[in-house]
Structure 1
Amino acid sequence: MRALILYRPGLPGWLSEMLKYQGPSRLAMEILAWHETLYYHAVTTAMYAEAVGRALGLQEEELEWLTQAAFFHDCGKISWPLVLADRERLDTEDRKLVNVHPIAGAYYLRQYWPEVPKLVCRIVKEHHERSDGSGYPNGLRNGEIHPLSMIVAAVEVYTALLEHRSYRDRGFMKVEALAELERQGFPENVIQVLAAVENDVTMGKMFGVKNLAGK
């Protein structure tokens, strides 16, 4: 399993470097072990986040934190029963698990990677918060959410919309996904960057994965 993650041909350089460290590598292995498609989603989200961060002129340290948080944003899902990976409709109990996965993710990061930057944990906790207060787990509003969290939130939604999911017939076309981001009120500068990024940023050809887990 370790070799599969660390030495898979074509792995992005930043990910290879990050996974040299035992804590993050172990957590990445847990993500892959839970569901390969969750791992694929993590890599794709991180690659889009890196592209957005560079385009917005983030400094290298901020860019590193953004990319790390984007990769680990859904690591809290490893606490879910595997049945949730492909469930088309969520019941009340399912939703309870879904709504706490950002908090679980921050706990997992601190457990596996004690030196994890505090901002990385914060971004993971906030990646489902929304500026109008409709998000979870804490219903934060604009001004309470870190700007890097909003980038990961937008990129994660964009990535998910482009992917095939069990609860819809097809993935969104790029123009549809961008329109949905605008409808949901994500930052205009992030949407503009995503509009300019080619979809070959995705890792589908490398990993050969068509189905993706996530809510």
Structure 2
Amino acid sequence: MIISIKDAVEGMVLAENIYSSDGIPLLEKGAILKNIYIENLKKNDIKNICIENESFNKISVECMIKCAINKEAIIIAKKIIDKLPFSQDENIKEIIVIKEKIIDELLGEKEILKNILNIKTIDNHIFDHCVNVSVISVIIGKSLGYNKEELIRLGKGAMLHDIGKISIPLEILNKPGKLTKEEYEIVKKHTTFGYEILNKISGIDEELANISLSHHERYDGYGYPNNLKAGEIHEFSRIVAISDVYDALTSDRVYRNKIKNEEAVEYLFNMKWKQFDGNIVDKFIESVASYSIGRKVILNTGERGIVAEENKGVPTRPIVKINYDQYNNEIKKPYYIDLLENKSIIIENTFN
């Protein structure tokens, strides 16, 4: 059964492995708890643990499943945050805490738990994608000034945005080649399927179900399923649309390889006021894709340096002070590269 770490006592036996938010193993299944272990788990911000229970029953099985999904979701959330430039580093811990709250609330409803399990059974990549989209949406929502309750609602809806894909044939979802016109029309139905599924679940209101229905609507009216445009699309759905496309572009798929962060951001930037709400794209770039001054970066040329100055309005193309050449040799006289003037040079990665 799952219990709060606050209720853990010496002598209890772990029923599942425990991992840190970075995915590092802390204790193995079968370990007998000692007070020093419990204190260490608290220091690692572990909120709940699964323990063996002699009266093992269906409720305990559900608790174990919830625990496993929660653990996996937190690890995925940490990974997506780690790969983002993410200029507001001090907010990372808060985003993780909010993500835990979102997962806890979602898994508290049996019908949602069943559908999330169905997603994982069909395709783990869809589950990963849903977690990533939820995290990115929460970061954007925070930059828009949403309060905690609004962030949790946005994150819950984003987490469930692709739930309709459980109704799409697996051979179409995992097809490695280009979809036929008929197959694409079937895939597009995941929005209405998701809306219908969520409308039957208690605790999911119209506003959240609508995210599943409308996350493929586009600002210019050329989306689906209802060709909504601009303000006709709820702001939650406009946020999730951007998060959805960004994560899809920067993740490997069976039918194509991922593209670089910079390329994905430039695509979103070029689609402002066309496919996407321009104001939200700007907030996305500012909070998710920009490089803060002092950030250590690696260029596609192999050179390394730090962000010395931001280019106003184009935060993905700052001025970089180069300290190391392409062979990782320290440069005696550092020089500057303005990425706005050198379009062929991009930031490939960051380092500590």
TM-score range, shorter chain: 0.7 to 0.9
1:209 equivalent in structure 2: none
One-letter code aligned to 1:6: C
Q: Which residue among 128, 132, 144 is the counterpart of 2:232?
A: 144
Question: Is 1:95 the counterpart of 2:184 in the alignment?
Answer: yes
1:10 shift after superposition? 5.6
- Tell me the TM-score normalised to structure 1 length: 0.83
Question: Is 1:64 the counterpart of 2:152 in the alignment?
Answer: yes
1:100 shift after superposition? 1.6
**Larger proportion of strand:** 2
Alignment partners' CA distance in 2, 1:179 and 1:159: 14
Question: Is 1:154 the counterpart of 2:231 in the alignment?
Answer: no
Task: Judge conservation of contact 1:6–1:16 (CA < 8 Å) in 2.
Answer: no
Q: How does 1:123-142 map to 2 (within 5 A)?
A: 123-142=211-230
Q: How does 1:191-210 map to 2 (within 5 A)?
A: 191-196=285-290
Deviates more, 1:185-194 or 1:134-143: 185-194
Secondary structure of 1:7 counterpart: helix
Alignment partners' CA distance in 1, 2:226 and 2:285: 24
Deviates more, 1:141-150 or 1:55-64: 55-64
1:181 shift after superposition? 0.9
1:6 equivalent in structure 2: 67
How many residues align? The count is 196
Task: Judge conservation of contact 1:42–1:74 (CA < 8 Å) in 2.
Answer: yes
Deviates more, 1:13-22 or 1:37-46: 13-22
Alignment partners' CA distance in 1, 2:240 and 2:195: 15
Q: 1:137 to 1:10 in 2, by over 3 A?
A: closer
2:161 equivalent in structure 1: 73
Q: Deviations over 1:56-81 (max 9, x none)?
A: 21122321221011111111111111
2:205 equivalent in structure 1: 117
Alignment partners' CA distance in 2, 1:197 and 1:158: 17
Task: Judge conservation of contact 1:42–1:70 (CA < 8 Å) in 2.
Answer: yes
Q: Which residue among 159, 168, 177 is the counterpart of 2:264?
A: 177
Task: Judge conservation of contact 2:199–2:206 (CA < 8 Å) in 1.
Answer: no
Q: 1:63 to 1:145 in 2, by over 3 A?
A: same
- Tell me the TM-score normalised to structure 2 length: 0.52
Q: 1:5 to 1:158 in 2, by over 3 A?
A: farther
Alignment partners' CA distance in 2, 1:66 and 1:121: 11
One-letter code aligned to 2:268: L
One-letter code aligned to 1:80: I
RMSD: 2.0
Task: Judge conservation of contact 1:65–1:117 (CA < 8 Å) in 2.
Answer: no
One-letter code aligned to 1:189: K
1:16 shift after superposition? 3.2
1:55 shift after superposition? 2.2
1:46 equivalent in structure 2: 134
**Larger proportion of helix:** 1
1:55 equivalent in structure 2: 143
1:157 shift after superposition? 0.4
One-letter code aligned to 1:49: S
1:134 shift after superposition? 1.1
Alignment partners' CA distance in 2, 1:117 and 1:61: 15
Question: Is 1:106 the counterpart of 2:200 in the alignment?
Answer: no
Q: 1:114 to 1:162 in 2, by over 3 A?
A: same
Q: 1:175 to 1:5 in 2, by over 3 A?
A: farther
Unaligned stretches of 5+ residues in structure 1 = 199-215
Alignment partners' CA distance in 1, 2:187 and 2:72: 32
Unaligned stretches of 5+ residues in structure 2 = 1-60, 75-99, 293-352
Deviates more, 1:10-19 or 1:181-190: 10-19
Alignment partners' CA distance in 2, 1:5 and 1:184: 38
Task: Judge conservation of contact 1:74–1:102 (CA < 8 Å) in 2.
Answer: yes
Poorly superposed stretches of 4+, deviation over 6 Å: none
Deviates more, 1:171-180 or 1:23-32: 23-32
1:7 shift after superposition? 2.5
Task: Judge conservation of contact 1:6–1:19 (CA < 8 Å) in 2.
Answer: no
One-letter code aligned to 2:189: V
One-letter code aligned to 1:178: V
